[in-house]
Structure 1
Amino acid sequence: MSGLVEEVRSKLAEALKGSLQAARRSGAIRVDEVPDFTVEVPREKDHGDFATNLAMLLAKPARMAPRKAAEILTQHFSPVDSWVERVEIAGPGFINFYLDPAWVYQVIPDILHAGRDYGRLDLGHNKKVQVEFVSANPTGLLHMGNARGAALGDSIAAILDFAGYEVSREYYINDAGNQIENFGLSLEARYLQLFGRDIPVPEGGYHGEDILASACSFRDLNGDSYLERDPAERRAALVQFALEEKLGHIKRVLSDFGVKYDVWFSEQSLHDAGAVQKTLEFLKGRGFIYENEEALWFKATEFGVEKDEVVVRSNGVPTYFAADIAYHWNKFQRGFDWVINIWGADHHGHVPRMKGAVAALGYDPAALDVVIMQLVRLYKGGELVRMSKRSGQFVTLEELVEEVGRDAARYFFVMRGADSHLDFDLDLAKAETNENPVYYIQYAYARICSIFRQLTEQGGARPQPDQIDYSLLKEEAELALARKLADFPGEVASAAVGLAPQRIARYLHELAGLLHSFYNSHRVITSDQALTAARLVLMDATRITLKNALGLLGLTAPERM
């Protein structure tokens, strides 16, 4: 399904090409090729339903003023099957098309016939895509940054799936390296403290209350049996126990947040399988690894990076970057055509290095996209929230969902682009007013459902979309609503290509606004049966579109509020 807007846009583009060909045949315009022009929906409503830049692109090769080229094109324009009522030339040479308002009527029966598939596209042609997101160290609780990553990653995956890609959601478990060593030392200190030993948590360790809770659970299960064990054995047992406990907690919290993964991938499994060493040997064989000062280095500078990167330290221990290269090689070996990572702002400098490594492995670095998300600041009562009573360090995802609910949390995290800093207003997210965008959108859906309950109570039946006189929908509010419904497939396409779920969030808010405007000024169930039927199918098409768009962001569509 390409959508009505794309269909009309395509017809206008073909008609414009026909205009240029006719102008060339008449000798009015002399050019060798048709330029790569666009037909777009203008931002300003007064500029028509569609506009093109073709005349301006013709000016230089045709050696004429853009407006003159526009005049010739419009003279030769034949609006076959394109719904065009009039054509105007504006500004330096834009050609604006004004369509018969009835063109948007077509979208209503299309939506009712497509139902839950309205807006679904074949943009991806089943291209295999992996979206890896959150991937927090399993050494603590999920915080606000992880929450934003979860909402972004899951929404991007849902949008790509809806746009025709074969999508796999993946969580990379960082269960190897220095953080796990510090995790073990922190757990050990807490465990020994429980038996009166004066052992401080190491300076680089983990000080959260959740670490103490894990040590207590381990003690409850094993008592003092590990007090006199070899320290390495004790730490290994503590780490294994706590990792399973924390990973189980992470899975449960993310599931409650509406996030389900297809793959949980262990970093340690790469080391156990020898994949890291194999990757380094492969890169060395391709000339991208060299030795210096007893360490091994990756030639990142050959890929435009400022400096080369250590992949094996002088003590023989591989760096996190080495494991990350091996992990990305594994991704491409699994057959993914497009690999997408959601990373925090502190990983911004890692992007060019990783793309360089992908190129060194023999893959197109453009096949790797990294979405960098900026920080989240939480506000309550106008004040910045800094601490959490439970963790002692930060507000957890679990606490946030308890406070504002899953829907509000997910919407607020995606309503701004990932590259924008996000101020999360707790009071606004909980408010049951039109100021809260989530409430505003869901209330629009619930309002439509109430109309159909009223219809049922009055003994009425849903009208059939093929038996409607759509010409009765003449009010500006009706036409604006239908026009917005027609935009949905295009918004899905733009959100998929740009990895931009904020487009769907904005679309939902705008569609809800148009629904509320219509509802507040017009009755749906009237004494005029034909008009009632037309408005009912418009309402049903709006309901379906709202629900489909809400689903892409992982939000519910409540029938009562």
Structure 2
Amino acid sequence: MAEQRGHFLRLHKVTPAALAELVRNTATAVLDARGLDTSVLPDSVTVERPRNPEHGDYATNLAMQVGKKAGVSPRELAGWLAEALASEEAIASVDVAGPGFLNLRLAADAQGAIVREVLDNTATFGHGELYRGRRVNLEFVSANPTGPIHLGGTRWAAVGDALGRVLSAQGAEVTREYYFNDAGSQIDRFVDSLIASAKGAPAPEGGYGGAYIDEIASEVVRSEPRVMGLPEDELRETFRRTGVGLMFTEIKRSLHEFGTDFDVFFHEDSLHTSGAVTREVERLKESGSLYFADGAWWLRSTDHGDDKDRVVIKNDGAPAYIAGDIAYLRDKRERGFDLCLYMLGADHHGYVARLKAAAAAMNDDPDVVEVLIGQMVNLVSDGEPVRMSKRAGTVVTMEDLVGAVGVDAARYTLIRSSVDSPVDIDLDLISKRTNENPVFYVQYAHARLSSLQRNAVSLGIRRGTVAEADLSLLNHEKEGELIRTLGEFPRVLHSAAELREPHRVARYLEEVAGSYHRFYDACRVLQPGDDQVTPLTVARLQLCEAARQVLANGLEVLGVSAPEQM
């Protein structure tokens, strides 16, 4: 049987995914050789690192999953698998534990192969092809152009950009899109507020306040000196056109400085002026997806899982907001996107069913639509909430946060928590240059590794190529822990993309930094004084370079810098 399975795993590629494939293929061969049903095996096998390293490098419960289904006790199946797996050159030993767990230990050469794989692939290590060939439209932030980006939008700017990077690392062709809400009552209130400021009057009821309104109003008057003498309609149109343009320019500048750039800025107003909304409404009427009642046209959204039917054309003949949403989804699909991701705020829960119902009403697959809902962000300093912005008046903005802690700390902190949960940002903590601060902890590990390589060069130590190093010498417990942690990166990136959870990458990087620090405390890398450079020194330098590379790759995915010195 060993001869039959010898091609399943080679020493040059021993990632958790490769081990999972090995276990499944081995189980297939074991069951088949005994005339047992191989269809009971899952499509993918779970291979995980046990919490207690004394239990082995990796563990799987496959025998417990399928033993009884195959007509054999799980522990007996585990014994057969252990015997077969032990003959693999990449496996040092396999133990059966409890009712049928398999604990695997890798051969030293196999662990070294993980280091080799990292250094052979450098910047692309961890990348995969989960979404190869898929075109993804990722719409996020899309804040109304009526004021600076607040903390909720700032969270989406960080998480959305990171998610785009994660999906791209899995082969997707991602278009980052900002839906520019330049139609509707909020723009009317913004224009009213600008005009009031230009006249020296207080902001109208329901309008916008803050120093930024005065700044934009003054800039409109400066650029259009005759504006205040224009007839009312022309005055309003000038303030609308110029004021909204100035506000949106500032929003784009803030996003760019935050490290978030968009491929497309889509104007909501274009859906109305181009006739796209009217055309889509007529299509839905003709298909029977709309019905007329109480003077309005309604979408039969309850037919597709929504909690109530939605008004598309109001009884005054004006389109409701969902009319633009439907036309916008049609536009995305006609542009060739096969997955439309929307990242919306906590007050948009109803949009999940609504947008899927819109897709279904268009005779499209509702699964082309995915809606991610993000929760609120709160700032805390000295144990007290931070509520006021000097410039925006009533909210804390992106610029406030970046001004307080910098881009890297702001982005990393907003990304590292699941968007499903509200997050409290402790300004005092993320301003510290200590290991208590997660972003400092990760960046410092990268800087320390970069410094280590510079020190080796200054000492005349030649690391050479990874092919020249004897990586089988990396058999210390802490070396093994670090190597196996590095080997998890492809799985982490895969999961982060599949689950739309870039925070997994941040938490993983903290794990890498911790493993590296423990390794460095236990294993001397550079020899003191004039001690002779040993093959172990060279092997450890290769391991350190692999750790630096993984940290750099992970930080790149998050859009956070990887400093070489701090």
TM over 0.5: yes
Aligned to 2:161: 154
Q: Which piece of structure 1 moves more, 296-305 or 1-10?
A: 1-10
Question: Structure 1 CA distance, aligned partners of 2:172 and 2:382?
Answer: 42
Aligned to 1:454, what secondary structure does the other structure show?
A: helix
- Alpha-carbon offset, residue 42 of structure 1: 4.1
Q: 1:34 aligns with which of 11, 29, 40?
A: 40
Aligned to 1:15: 26
Aligned to 2:64: 56
Question: Structure 2 CA distance, aligned partners of 1:312 and 1:180?
Answer: 20
Deviation per residue, 1:357-391 (Å, 9 max, x gap): 11211221112111111100101111110111222
Q: Which piece of structure 1 moves more, 58-67 or 466-475?
A: 58-67
AA aligned to 2:26 is A
- Is 1:188 the counterpart of 2:190 in the alignment? no
- Summarize the Cα distance change of 1:32–1:162 in structure 2 as closer, same or farther, 3 Å threshold: closer
Question: Structure 2 CA distance, aligned partners of 1:539 and 1:78?
Answer: 30
- Summarize the Cα distance change of 1:3–1:250 in structure 2 as closer, same or farther, 3 Å threshold: farther
- Is 1:544 the counterpart of 2:549 in the alignment? yes
CA contact (8 A) 2:114 2:487 kept: yes
Aligned to 1:168: 175
Aligned to 1:244: 245
- Summarize the Cα distance change of 1:50–1:363 in structure 2 as closer, same or farther, 3 Å threshold: farther
- Alpha-carbon offset, residue 337 of structure 1: 1.3
Aligned to 1:4: 15
CA contact (8 A) 1:119 1:492 kept: yes
- Is 1:93 the counterpart of 2:104 in the alignment? no
What are the residue-to-residue correspondences of 1:117-128 with 2, within 5 Å? 117-128=124-135
Question: Structure 1 CA distance, aligned partners of 2:330 and 2:14?
Answer: 37
Question: Structure 2 CA distance, aligned partners of 1:88 and 1:533?
Answer: 33
Aligned to 1:196: none
Q: Which piece of structure 1 moves more, 506-515 or 51-60?
A: 51-60
- Alpha-carbon offset, residue 228 of structure 1: 4.3
Question: Structure 1 CA distance, aligned partners of 2:20 and 2:424?
Answer: 38
CA contact (8 A) 1:131 1:157 kept: yes
CA contact (8 A) 1:6 1:490 kept: yes
Aligned to 2:526, what secondary structure does the other structure show?
A: coil
- Alpha-carbon offset, residue 11 of structure 1: 1.4
CA contact (8 A) 2:89 2:107 kept: no
Aligned to 1:415: 416
AA aligned to 2:40 is V
- Alpha-carbon offset, residue 34 of structure 1: 2.9
CA contact (8 A) 1:345 1:373 kept: yes
Q: Which piece of structure 1 moves more, 33-42 or 181-190?
A: 33-42
Aligned to 1:534: 539
Q: Which piece of structure 1 moves more, 406-415 or 291-300?
A: 291-300
Deviation per residue, 1:160-200 (Å, 9 max, x gap): 1111111111111000111112222222222222xxxxx55
Aligned to 1:130, what secondary structure does the other structure show?
A: strand
- Alpha-carbon offset, residue 73 of structure 1: 4.8
Aligned to 1:204, what secondary structure does the other structure show?
A: coil
- Summarize the Cα distance change of 1:202–1:423 in structure 2 as closer, same or farther, 3 Å threshold: same
- Alpha-carbon offset, residue 209 of structure 1: 2.5
Q: Which piece of structure 1 moves more, 407-416 or 479-488?
A: 479-488
Question: Structure 1 CA distance, aligned partners of 2:189 and 2:388?
Answer: 23
Aligned to 2:19, what secondary structure does the other structure show?
A: helix
Question: Structure 1 CA distance, aligned partners of 2:430 and 2:174?
Answer: 30
Deviation per residue, 1:248-276 (Å, 9 max, x gap): 10111100000111111110111111111
Question: Structure 2 CA distance, aligned partners of 1:517 and 1:2?
Answer: 25
Deviation per residue, 1:228-248 (Å, 9 max, x gap): 433222111101111110111
CA contact (8 A) 1:2 1:121 kept: no
- Is 1:114 the counterpart of 2:141 in the alignment? no
Aligned to 1:207: 209
Question: Structure 2 CA distance, aligned partners of 1:402 and 1:483?
Answer: 38
- Summarize the Cα distance change of 1:58–1:516 in structure 2 as closer, same or farther, 3 Å threshold: closer
- Summarize the Cα distance change of 1:453–1:68 in structure 2 as closer, same or farther, 3 Å threshold: closer
Aligned to 1:27: none
Question: Structure 2 CA distance, aligned partners of 1:504 and 1:372?
Answer: 19
- Is 1:308 the counterpart of 2:316 in the alignment? no
Question: Structure 2 CA distance, aligned partners of 1:536 and 1:56?
Answer: 41
Aligned to 2:4: none
- Alpha-carbon offset, residue 153 of structure 1: 0.3
Q: Which piece of structure 1 moves more, 316-325 or 82-91?
A: 82-91
Question: Structure 1 CA distance, aligned partners of 2:423 and 2:376?
Answer: 6
Aligned to 2:5: none
CA contact (8 A) 1:136 1:146 kept: yes
Structure 1 portions without partners, runs of 5+: 25-29, 194-198
Percent identity for Structure 1 against Structure 2: 41
- Alpha-carbon offset, residue 60 of structure 1: 4.6
Q: Which piece of structure 1 moves more, 241-250 or 112-121?
A: 112-121
CA contact (8 A) 2:446 2:551 kept: yes
Q: Which piece of structure 1 moves more, 374-383 or 460-469?
A: 460-469
CA contact (8 A) 1:23 1:73 kept: no
Aligned to 1:140, what secondary structure does the other structure show?
A: coil
Question: Structure 1 CA distance, aligned partners of 2:145 and 2:490?
Answer: 38
Structure 2 portions without partners, runs of 5+: 1-11
CA contact (8 A) 1:11 1:82 kept: no
Deviation per residue, 1:130-150 (Å, 9 max, x gap): 111100001100111111000
- Summarize the Cα distance change of 1:114–1:58 in structure 2 as closer, same or farther, 3 Å threshold: closer
Question: Structure 2 CA distance, aligned partners of 1:31 and 1:4?
Answer: 28
Question: Structure 2 CA distance, aligned partners of 1:47 and 1:219?
Answer: 73
What are the residue-to-residue correspondences of 1:365-444 with 2, within 5 Å? 365-444=366-445
Question: Structure 1 CA distance, aligned partners of 2:293 and 2:65?
Answer: 54
Q: Which piece of structure 1 moves more, 318-327 or 460-469?
A: 460-469
Question: Structure 2 CA distance, aligned partners of 1:119 and 1:531?
Answer: 26
Question: Structure 1 CA distance, aligned partners of 2:14 and 2:553?
Answer: 14
CA contact (8 A) 2:112 2:471 kept: yes
Aligned to 2:218: 216
AA aligned to 1:548 is N
Aligned to 1:138: 145
Question: Structure 2 CA distance, aligned partners of 1:73 and 1:520?
Answer: 37
Aligned to 2:228, what secondary structure does the other structure show?
A: coil
Aligned to 1:554: 559
Question: Structure 2 CA distance, aligned partners of 1:205 and 1:312?
Answer: 26
Aligned to 2:176, what secondary structure does the other structure show?
A: strand
Deviation per residue, 1:428-477 (Å, 9 max, x gap): 11101110111111111111111122122223333211111112212211
- Alpha-carbon offset, residue 425 of structure 1: 0.8
Question: Structure 2 CA distance, aligned partners of 1:276 and 1:359?
Answer: 17
Question: Structure 2 CA distance, aligned partners of 1:2 and 1:335?
Answer: 36
RMSD over aligned CA atoms reads 2.0
Question: Structure 1 CA distance, aligned partners of 2:89 and 2:310?
Answer: 57
- Alpha-carbon offset, residue 65 of structure 1: 4.4
CA contact (8 A) 2:147 2:212 kept: yes
Question: Structure 1 CA distance, aligned partners of 2:141 and 2:332?
Answer: 17
Question: Structure 2 CA distance, aligned partners of 1:20 and 1:491?
Answer: 31
Aligned to 1:378, what secondary structure does the other structure show?
A: strand
Aligned to 1:458: 459
CA contact (8 A) 1:3 1:489 kept: no
